[in-house]
Structure 1
Amino acid sequence: MTIVIAGAAGKLGRLVVEDLLRRAPDHRLRALVRNPEKIADLAARGVEIHVADYHDPGSLRGAFHRGGRVLLISTSSMTGIVDQHRAVIDAAAAAEVSLLAYTSILGGPAATFDIADPHNETEQLVTAAPVPYALLRNGWYNENYTGHLDWTLAADSVFGAAGAGKVATAARADYAEAAAIVLTTEGNEGMTYELSGDTAWTMPDYAAEVSRRTGRSIAYTNLSVADYTRLMVDAGVPPAEAAAVADADDAIARGQLATVTGELSRLIGHPTTPIADSIAAEWETLTDLQKSST
């Protein structure tokens, strides 16, 4: 069977492919990417590469096989998201794949913040397509926070607009494992999985854990949505991205990403990765980098 990962060069996509190489070595794996150089190492391990640009539906011809399975990983683009997704969905449907899985967002239609809107529109396209589907509604990743640990330490503060709102995160690898399982097991047709971490935590909790791990005194500075947006823009974040992140923090303050469903740990067969473990791993990486540069 052919399994196609659309968006394989991204952080989540690469982890899914890595998991599939271990989990299903007899399957035919194909990666859809715009830049094949980004996954040349995976090609060397037998992963087929199909170069495609979602803005060019013609580039998707031949990407999918009848009876195969597809994972559409949501694009990280800030514009034209739904049109890009539609091109993949239409091509997969035309090829009569046996399963089209999509990485959506925790809560689905109940998620009422800007980042959720294109996910909800894409879900409508996926469920309306004439092929079996599975919706993987992913919550936030631990790495959404630990990926900026160097900035946090430089500022001696965690900044945000989430107030005391909780967020139920898991490691990106946990979500990748869930996707790989759905792609390689039976009975997932028509399923919607609400995926989140086993524990919800607050930004003050996060700052306290960073302090404990690093031995530094790290505070949480809560800002208004406007001030948090401005802070990110001043730091070089593109305005549209900054506004979306701050708006999502406001949703966290309203409790929209706090749901602990248990579905992710049940699906992968083990507890999700605690935020403390991800902080420890990133701190070790930063420490090793500092040692190697001195």
Structure 2
Amino acid sequence: MQKNISSFFQRQPPPNIESSSSTSKPLKIVLDDLPWDPSERKPISSYHPSQKDEIRRTYLLRGPCQPKGKNTDFPQTLIGNSDKLRRFNPKWYTEKHGNWLEYNEVTTNLLTCMSSLSPRDNFSSFNKLNLLKLAEMYSYDFTFDEKDKLIDELGHYISNMKRDSQFDNLNGVSDLAKRMVETRKHIEYQLVYRLIKLSLVLPVATASVERSFSSMKLVKTELRNRMGDGYMNDSCICYIEKEFLQQVSVESVMQRFQKMITRRQQL
């Protein structure tokens, strides 16, 4: 009986402890040979704890994966109710749209309607119906009476813009918004200017936010689950704006840190 009680209180080793990744020796991994395609990647949790941060850092530096291939990589398939066979064209990823991103149907309609505000080529892309659809999509920003008023305002707006030489040679919607403020047209065409402001917010509200949430999953991991909001925001900004961060030299960072307070030793 005593033997049974003493054996009961002894700590039992966990099962399969010899095969555990935390106690086994780390396998040699060539970082350049890690698969880029997310479908081919092993879960980072399956690697040795001493290698997880290094592997995660490698994927962060590589950036998002972009599908590429030959015509044979994309077989023809039936899509929707159409009888025609369709497939992805690799030229979309290599020649025409290098920074390809996939949008859903709602976002595609928003982008199509937003392009009608472009001032290029003397407002050649202007489409009144598309802009009215854009106002319908933002039902909380336009009342029923404002939507009726927008129909007449768009007509006056486009005729005025085409006659005004101050709005020639504009490159985009952002330049149009600046010129309208400079010429006080944003007061005369308040509803159209509201559409322009919503269109300028749209790119930030789609792709950039999706990339931000993707980077947040990579920055805040199991080993950093107690990370505070301030440190997480700073880390995410460093990853999202890495193109600008690469232009900052290490020497300038050291000098700024040195000048913050008086220190005993110079860096």
* The two structures share one fold, judged by TM-score above 0.5: no
Shorter-chain TM-score tier = under 0.3
TM normalised by structure 1 equals 0.19
Determine which structure has the larger helix proportion and give its number.
Answer: 2
Higher relative contact order (CA 8 A, sep 6+): 1
TM normalised by structure 2 equals 0.21
Determine which structure has the larger strand proportion and give its number.
Answer: 1
Larger radius of gyration: 2
